[in-house]
RNA sequence: UGGCCGAUGGUGUAAAGGUAGCACAGGGGUCUUUGGAGCCCUUAGUCAUGGUUCGAAUCCAUGUCGGCCAGCCA
């Protein structure tokens, strides 16, 4: 709710890393008129926290150097992509950068495609982006690699005419066989020396739909003996008679990543094309295509950094899809998922994610970041802004025997000790109340500061009570406590300074409202779910979700959507954006409070 | 056994030939009407071996370990 409202808070200093250093050097050398990055997901799944790192890097650089970061759908494979993903990706990116880098978001007018033009006597195509700050009245949409198919087709023809690309009729199996292996050179395709005229003709017929799927491909003529497999005459186009989510039935041949990506970058005027480490071996190919073509404008360059891994979760789209499709979570936005939509649904503020990403650093070392770093960033953000409220998750009834039925005392509860301007709210203390079952121990362990038979404890914002009697049911289960209240120890009372070891939270029974509370925990029981090749399904945390019916204070009966709360001594919560209803609140736990007692007690 | 890339406390990262620092985690303390937060203190590190140098985490060599690459996926 208040995510952009707090943009006045000091933003941390711009981080420094080897990529930013390279960009800064390019700026200092005057190599580009404007820095232009891009975030190019394939719309075949939801974005996850690993993408968040990339988004923060790419938009962070655009922001820092006064440039733009294009949001581009890298949609060259019609078989895997879907409009559902285009929409979710767009929403996730906008949410993550809102109030921080919206002015750097590069989009384009709906339906726009690259315009042919001439630069310094050379024919060229350019797909200019419209940033959030360059406001336009028209409707904007992300950029799509599929909007460049016509331009890409032209570049492919140029390669053919140069004699560095050819149509190959080898089957998929034979293409594999001819490629060789990492330690064994490949062999030239028998179609490698076709004439330019024949290649042009065949490529045009490929486009015209004369060949079935797989009948032939367009390949770059590079070096079948290269130690880098990606330089062994890589495929440029394959035939796919398939409907594309963005171009419909217009095309039956589709470009492959290596060819499409570098040229998409070029068409958009990208200066720094930042991707993850697994593309490092593709960089010579990225450069090869751009260098073969007679390009009019400065060409982009690719840089690689290590993708993010986080402990106690999995990150690949394939595995996340499996969790969803196998029903192990409720959907892509299940609060236990490491997806951006899952984290959002859990109540994690975008700013916490950005701060997390910033602390990660950018290197070429593939490691695993401990989830505690993320958790810390979330608590840090929520601690300053969340309103404190009293809620009892596992209620135990307490009767204050010296308070008469109907008698009531109004007390002032602090809304946020980190922010005095948040003020106080009145809460009522009366004869019957609820406390946390865990806050009473009939046989207390050593150093137990909470309520025990005969013991004293302070009720937060109220007074000290003493346990006089323990009532149990037939099975010996504690069902009720009879206590006396020392009203002189109330805030402002004559004995308010009296010290007791423990302070517990509580809710007055007459004022309590019932609420469903969803207690989410980490999805896996192992820090590295896939360690030693084991199936991540075998280490799913069976207790990753527990639902309880809590007693919450009346002010929580109809929570404002988007509002963050700290249930004192428990954790951070917010009304579930899907399921919470006025008068029937449903709270989702974003994260627990750090609890040093739980650690001492061995988790409890 | 081919190529490319990497290696700094438990984890993630700084140090661009000159005092190995920061964050998270861990430990201790202080404060506290949240066993929260804050504040203070603290444990713990340059993969190995040579070389260059007055001086090496940094440069060079060799080795070790790890990641990536043989999709008509991206």
pLDDT tens track for A160-183: 999 999 999 999 999 999 999 999
Over residues A321-360, the pLDDT tens digits come to: 999 999 999 999 999 999 999 999 999 999 999 999 999 9
- Nearest nucleotide to A78, CA against C1' atoms: B73
pLDDT of residue A533: 83
Q: What percent of chain A has pLDDT over 90?
A: 92
Q: Is the CB of A273 under 7 A from strand B?
A: no
Quick one: pLDDT band at residue A5, thresholds 50, 70, 90?
A: very low
* Spacing of A26 CA from B50 C1' in Å: 38
Q: Is the CB of A80 under 7 A from strand B?
A: yes
pTM given for the model = 0.96
pLDDT of residue A603: 44
Quick one: pLDDT band at residue A14, thresholds 50, 70, 90?
A: confident
* Spacing of A222 CA from B46 C1' in Å: 42
**What is the DSSP code string of A445-482?**
PTT--SB-TT-EEEETTS-EEEEEEEEE-TTS-EEEEE
- Nearest nucleotide to A594, CA against C1' atoms: B36
What are the angstrom distances between the C-alpha of A135 and each of A33, A34, A50, A103, A139? 21, 18, 30, 9, 10
Q: Is the CB of A534 under 7 A from strand B?
A: no
Q: Is the CB of A370 under 7 A from strand B?
A: yes
* Spacing of A357 CA from B46 C1' in Å: 25
Quick one: pLDDT band at residue A601, thresholds 50, 70, 90?
A: confident
Catalytic choice (A94, A187, A192, A307)? A307
Q: Which A residues 150-209 have CB within 7 Å of strand B?
A: 170-172, 175-176, 179-183
Quick one: pLDDT band at residue A7, thresholds 50, 70, 90?
A: very low
A317 is catalytic: yes
Q: Rounded mean pLDDT of A396-415?
A: 97
CA-CA distance, A510 to A405, in Å (whole number)? 11
Quick one: pLDDT band at residue A131, thresholds 50, 70, 90?
A: confident
Residue A77 has pLDDT above 70, yes or no: yes
What stretch of H or E contains A354?
Answer: helix A350-360
- Nearest nucleotide to A463, CA against C1' atoms: B33
What are the angstrom distances between the C-alpha of A14 and each of A57, A103, A412? 11, 17, 41
Q: How many CB atoms lie within 10 A of CB A415?
A: 18
Q: How many CB atoms lie within 10 A of CB A310?
A: 22
Catalytic choice (A53, A238, A283, A317)? A317
- Nearest nucleotide to A234, CA against C1' atoms: B72
Q: For residue A420, how far is the Cα from the chain centroid?
A: 32
pLDDT of residue A271: 98
Q: How many CB atoms lie within 10 A of CB A450?
A: 19
Residue A599 has pLDDT above 90, yes or no: no
Across chain A, mean pLDDT equals 95
pLDDT of residue A13: 66
Q: Is the CB of A593 under 7 A from strand B?
A: yes
Over residues A190-201, the pLDDT tens digits come to: 999 999 999 999
pLDDT of residue A8: 34
- Give SS3 for A145: helix
Quick one: pLDDT band at residue A15, thresholds 50, 70, 90?
A: confident
pLDDT of residue A11: 47
Closest CA to A214 of A79, A41, A42, A81: A79
Q: What percent of chain A has pLDDT over 70?
A: 96
A307 is catalytic: yes
Cβ neighbors of A19 (< 8 A, separation 6 or more) are A57, A61, A272, A274, A303, A305, A362
pLDDT of residue A2: 37
pLDDT of residue A492: 86
pLDDT of residue A12: 53
Catalytic choice (A3, A42, A526, A530)? A42
Q: For residue A341, how far is the Cα from the chain centroid?
A: 6
The total number of residues written for chain A in this structure = 604
Between β-strands A301-305 and A272-276, what pairing exists: parallel, antiparallel or unpaired? parallel
Over residues A210-219, the pLDDT tens digits come to: 999 999 999 9
Phi then psi dihedrals of residue A38, to 5 deg: -155, 150
Over residues A78-101, the pLDDT tens digits come to: 999 999 999 999 999 999 999 999
* Spacing of A277 CA from B66 C1' in Å: 14
């Amino acid at each position: 709710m208040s995510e952009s409202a707090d943009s006045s808070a000091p933003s941390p200093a711009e981080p420094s890393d080897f990529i930013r250093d390279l960009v800064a050097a390019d700026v200092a050398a005057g190599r580009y008129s404007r820095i232009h990055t891009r975030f190019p997901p394939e719309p075949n799944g939801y974005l996850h926290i690993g993408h968040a790192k990339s988004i923060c890097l790419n938009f962070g650089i655009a922001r820092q150097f006064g440039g733009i970061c294009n949001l581009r759908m890298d949609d060259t494979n019609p078989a895997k992509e879907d409009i559902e993903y285009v929409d979710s990706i767009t929403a996730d990116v906008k949410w993550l950068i809102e109030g921080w880098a919206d002015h750097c978001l590069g989009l384009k007018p709906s339906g726009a495609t690259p315009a042919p033009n001439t630069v310094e006597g050379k024919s060229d195509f350019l797909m200019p982006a419209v940033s959030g700050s360059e406001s336009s009245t028209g409707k904007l949409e992300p950029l799509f690699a599929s909007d460049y198919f016509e331009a890409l087709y032209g570049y492919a023809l140029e390669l053919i005419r140069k004699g560095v690309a050819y149509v190959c009729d080898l089957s998929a199996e034979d293409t594999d066989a001819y490629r060789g292996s990492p330690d064994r050179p490949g062999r030239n395709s028998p179609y490698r020396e076709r004439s330019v005229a024949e290649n042009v003709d065949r490529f045009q017929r490929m486009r015209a739909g004369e060949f079935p799927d797989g009948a032939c491909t367009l390949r770059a003529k590079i070096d079948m003996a290269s130690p880098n497999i990606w330089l062994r005459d890589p495929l440029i186009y394959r035939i796919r008679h398939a409907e594309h989510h963005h171009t419909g039935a217009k095309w039956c041949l589709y470009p492959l990543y290596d060819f499409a990506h570098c040229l998409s970058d070029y068409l958009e005027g990208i200066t720094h094309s930042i991707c993850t480490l697994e593309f490092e071996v593709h960089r010579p190919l990225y450069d090869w295509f751009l260098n073969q073509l007679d390009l009019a404008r400065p060409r982009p360059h690719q840089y690689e950094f290590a993708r993010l891994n986080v402990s106690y979760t999995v990150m690949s789209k394939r595995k996340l899809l499996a969790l969803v499709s196998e029903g192990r979570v409720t959907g892509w936005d299940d609060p236990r998922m490491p997806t951006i939509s899952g984290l959002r649904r859990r109540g994690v503020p975008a700013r916490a994610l950005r701060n997390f990403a910033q602390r990660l650093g950018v290197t070429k070392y593939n490691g695993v970041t401990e989830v505690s770093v993320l958790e810390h960033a979330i608590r840090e953000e929520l601690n300053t802004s969340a309103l404190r409220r009293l809620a009892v998750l596992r209620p135990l009834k307490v009767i204050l025997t010296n308070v008469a039925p109907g008698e009531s005392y109004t007390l002032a509860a602090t809304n946020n000790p980190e922010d005095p301007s948040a003020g106080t709210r009145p809460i009522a203390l009366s004869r019957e109340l609820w406390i946390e079952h865990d806050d009473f121990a009939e046989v207390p362990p050593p150093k137990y500061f909470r309520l025990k038979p005969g013991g004293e404890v302070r009720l937060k914002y109220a007074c000290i009570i003493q346990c006089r009697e323990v009532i149990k049911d037939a099975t010996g289960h504690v069902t009720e406590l009879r206590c006396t209240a020392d009203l002189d120890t109330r805030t402002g009372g004559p004995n308010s300074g009296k010290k007791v070891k423990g302070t517990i939270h509580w809710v007055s029974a007459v004022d309590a409202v019932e609420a469903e509370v969803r207690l989410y925990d980490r999805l896996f029981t192992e820090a590295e779910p896939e360690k030693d090749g084991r199936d991540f399904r075998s280490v799913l945390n069976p207790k990753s979700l527990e639902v309880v019916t809590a007693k919450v204070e009346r002010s929580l009966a109809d929570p404002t959507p988007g509002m963050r709360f700290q249930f004192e001594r428990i954790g951070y919560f917010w009304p579930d954006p899907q399921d919470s209803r006025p008068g029937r609140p449903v709270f989702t736990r974003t994260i627990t409070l750090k609890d040093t007692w739980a650690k001492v007690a061995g988790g409890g």
